[in-house]
Chains A and B, each alone.
Chain A
Amino acid sequence: MLPTRLLLYPLGVLLLLGGALPDALARIKLTTLPVRERVALQLDHAQVALVEEERLVPLVQGRNQVDFSWANTRIDPDSLVLRILDTPDGAEPRAQVLSVSYPPHENALVWTVAARTAGTARMRISYILGGLNKSFHYRALADHAERTLVLSQYLQISNSAQEAFASAAIQAEVGPRLERPLGLNETKELRLNQFAAVPVRKTYTSDPLRFGYLDRDQDKLNVPMHYVIRNAGAPLGREALPEGKARIFQDDGQGGSAFLGEDRGTFTAPDDELKLYLGLARDIVVRRSVERSERQRIAGNLYRYDVTLKYEIQNFKDSPATLDLVESVRHIRDSLYGAVERDPEWQLGAGSLRDPDPQHSDADQLLFHITLPPRTAAGTAVKQIHTLRLSLNNEW
């Protein structure tokens, strides 16, 4: 009995031919070309794309040669898995793989499959395919009052794998599974989710270590603005938000929307905050100066440093705001007394800033929330003065 040979081409080109096998040289054979029944693109791994395809393969009783070739595509041949799906009642398998042969200098392999009886077997072939790249994108549309926003999440797939998929079930690490075609060299953007009425907090931050000064000579700090979205509570919080570019818009109150800018959102786990940078605020002014710096000898070369930082804050906006004031104790010590490797040991003194946010403060960083009233009806911005008093103990 001449073995029947089957060719499975991931490429669209299908040919009928006789072929060469190690033990069957130059014999004329009949080849059947089973088509794909179903394709799934598993994009849930951070680095690689796994393709799973199912084909109905007619087998003769006894041995069958099943060729699989992938000219011009970047299939990782070592990742290929062929599974012959069992009959539904879970009976003994009707067919099984005996061996795999790899011809020289070809992107191909030959499965030798034994079949108990002639008939059609459903085969599932899985392989890692290079050239299928994905990224995530976001579109955030804030309401006019900047209290909530609509966050849309998109998956972008660019197909430079030299392989077309007439229809594929596409699954990324987040979002639902979507059935879509994906053509050669196509880039496709799929909306995975749209989260409505997501609470958003607009923050104004001063952080001399991270964001520096607007005008060093006048002690004026940069005050960047962010939209902060907590990935928790309905409708968010069920899955992480993968990193990706976010375009930010605001409802202009006249039926349109204004583009506020774009930022790269970082991976945000549930319960964490996604911060999107909007630019520098010019209507909130923060001046920071060192009001006091003294050292007290404890013994020998062992000292305590007493430091007071003063902040003069004005809100020139006609709406109230909250300023997130961030300091690094190490940065304060190193800039005043010279950098040393050991961690600072500190205590908060009796300044006006005494209750750091415990969620965002640690051995080095302190975060205070300061509420700023809007400018008065007469147009003047009240100047708030705050002090941060620190004792830096056991320094030398």
Chain B
Amino acid sequence: MVSAVNTLIARRWMSRLLSLAGLLLSLSANAGNVDLATVPERRTVQLTIYNAEDLTLVRETRELNFKPGVNPLRFSWANTLIDPTSVELRFPDAAGGLELLDTTFPHDKPQSLYWNVRSDTERTARIEISYFTSGIRWEADYLAIADPDERQLRLDSFVRVRNDSGEDYEDAQVRLVVGTLNLVEKIAVLARLPVGRIDELKRDEYQNLRQKAARPLMAAPATPAAEAVGMAADAAVLEAPKAIAKAGLSEYFIYSIEGTETVPNGWAKRLRSFVAEAVPMTVEYRYRPREYGEALTRLYLLRNDRDSHLGGTPLPDGRVRVFRADAEGGLHYLATQNLAYVPIGDRIELNLGADPAVLFKEVKERVYRDQFWLQIKGGTLYRKLGEEGLKLDVDSQVAGWDEHTVYRQEIRNYSTQPIRVQIRRAYDGDVLFRSRLNPTLHDFQTVQVERVVAAGEKAALEYEVVARMGYSQKQSRVEVQAGDPGR
């Protein structure tokens, strides 16, 4: 284990030496083989990470001493994932006194460039270098722990920043962009293409447009960095986890992590975005085969709003792990699922899968047919069976009829709580749904029935489905009718 740690240290130093995204103030202009340079350190660095596109804007400032006349600068980024075409140099303080004359990408020194900067006087000035890199990602994840009685839960939201960019970013101000759609739209606008045809762009072209689209957003003024929180000096004060400020911007949310963070290359760091205690929730059982498959599915339902102690921010896509606490404080694992982006005010559904304590079974009790129509001699004449004057013509075919199927939906609740069950069944064709269950139509072909099943109750819901078949099918829709199932 000791050697493993030493290896880790060695690896980190190697990585540091190999992956320096460095700036050299070259003391000989566009030097030959013999070169002398000074290395001004980064003063500040800001990362704006756009997770949907594997795109991060890095803005760093350094302080340099300029002599009057032309000052050559070399910027290099060996073994990193920086996009060379995206590197920009600005002089935020020197109003007109500094001028970038040219930028040269030398053929013999890959992953580096030279800038010639003219200064009107001897001065120390702050420069800002910005560029795009890939390999830095962030993702959200959540931890939901329900109370033993499943009336409230605690929702912890985290963000995890992972750095595989090849470069260590130390004491960086980190901003995370939540949102996916707008960038693509902007690329489409810039490319003068419909959004659906963005795939047709060549890779280079796409990268270029993507940067153009992203830069205005990412260059939004930084939230003032709070003082880095050090160790709690005061004996009575407990250091709080860093706050993550959330601000809406156009179609985006930007999460700014308080203070600065160091995420070395290869490492990931997870910080709490927010925690919501005592979030009210309900439990619902749903049978919706199209959404959840054939099982009766148990869900925790909550809402991303203020009443639920949430709603401060949309919830970015991320994985949720759901547990239930027991009376002794132990945890019981329930499920892991991917949560799709939840806007402020929207519902959050946590799918816990089937519950072995609730049995759900549909039994086909009886089938019968009536209302027969016969097609006479294969022609256009149809006669109803039982009509007066209809002969038992040998040369006639069944063309239309009503197919009656009587079902019994059994729900047995062996849990200790009453449960709310919602059932949706979709039917093709021209169908009448007859029952005493107060069904409603979810859509033109889907019937919805709701029922509370008490603890220990064995509910049997009876209903009849009448499907008008063949020639008798006049519509494609379901009608609901109050009535007793069966003849």
Contact = CB atoms under 8 A, between A and B. Distances in A.
B365 A17 contact: no
Given A1-B231, A85-B329, 12 more contacts: A13-B1, A17-B1, A42-B332, A45-B334, A98-B242, A100-B269, A102-B268, A116-B235, A240-B357, A299-B392, A301-B397, A363-B365
B237 interface: yes
A183 B438 CA distance: 57
A269 B359 CA distance: 8
B235 A61 contact: yes
A18 interface: yes
A299 B374 contact: yes
B332 A50 contact: yes
Given A1-B231, A300-B397, A362-B365, A42 B267 contact: no
Q: Which of A17, A128, A394 has the most CB of B within 10 A?
A: A394
Where chain A touches its partner, the secondary structure class is loop
A208 interface: no
A17 B5 contact: yes
Given A63-B231, A78-B321, A45 B398 contact: no
5 contacts: A45-B334, A50-B331, A101-B270, A299-B374, A363-B365
Given A116-B236, A269-B414, A343-B364, A302 B372 contact: yes
Interface string B363-374: 111111110101
Given A25-B12, A363-B405, A116 B238 contact: yes
Interface in B362-415: 363-370, 372, 374, 385, 390, 392-398, 401, 403, 405-406, 412, 414
Interface string B175-215: 00000000000000000000000000000000000000000
Given A79-B321, A301-B396, A343-B364, A114 B238 contact: yes
Interface stretch (B39-47, B88-96, B258-266, B428-436): B258-266
A210 interface: no
B1 A342 contact: no
A45 B332 CA distance: 8
Contacts of B241: 96-99, 114
Contacts of A114: 232, 238-241
B238 A94 contact: yes
A104 interface: yes
B442 interface: no
A219 interface: no
B363 A362 contact: yes
Interface string B15-42: 0000000000000000000000000000
B332 A19 contact: no
Nearest to B269: A101
Interface in A83-137: 85, 92-106, 114-117, 124, 126, 128
A297 B392 contact: yes
A342 B414 contact: no
A396 interface: yes
B385 A299 contact: yes
A294 interface: no
A128 B1 contact: no
A103 B4 CA distance: 12
A103 B271 CA distance: 15
Contact of B238 (A13, A19, A95): A95
Given A17-B2, A95-B238, A96-B240, A345 B367 contact: yes
B8 A106 contact: yes
Contact of B269 (A13, A94, A99): A99
A17 B2 CA distance: 6
A345 B5 contact: no
B269 A102 contact: yes
B110 interface: no
Contacts of A373: none
Contacts of A104: 11, 265-267
Interface of B: 1-2, 4-5, 8-9, 11-12, 141, 143, 162, 170, 231-232, 235-242, 262-272, 319, 321, 323, 329-334, 336, 356-357, 359, 363-370, 372, 374, 385, 390, 392-398, 401, 403, 405-406, 412, 414, 458
Contacts of B414: 240, 269-270
B363 A343 contact: no
Contacts of B368: 345, 393-394
Contacts of B390: 299
Given A19-B5, A42-B330, A240 B235 contact: no
Contacts of A22: 262-264, 267, 269
Contact of B367 (A40, A52, A363): A363
A99 to B, nearest CB: 5
A103 B87 CA distance: 29
Contact of A52 (B1, B238, B330, B366): B330
A251 B265 CA distance: 70
B331 A126 contact: yes
Nearest to A344: B367
Contact of B395 (A81, A116, A300, A345): A300
Contacts of A20: 5, 8-9, 12
A173 interface: yes
Contacts of B336: 79
A355 interface: no
A79 B321 CA distance: 7
Q: Which of B334, B374, B395 has the most CB of A within 10 A?
A: B374
Q: Which of A1, A46, A98 has the most CB of B within 10 A?
A: A98
A338 to B, nearest CB: 16
A189 interface: no
A363 B329 contact: no
B327 to A, nearest CB: 13
Nearest to B263: A22
Contacts of B366: 363
Given A96-B238, A116-B237, A18 B356 contact: no
A240 B414 CA distance: 9
B270 A99 contact: yes
A42 B392 CA distance: 70
A377 interface: no
A26 B9 contact: yes
Nearest to A116: B238
Interface in A201-227: none
A103 B264 CA distance: 9
Contact of B271 (A26, A99, A300): A99
Interface in A13-50: 13, 15, 17-20, 22-23, 25-26, 40, 42, 44-46, 48, 50
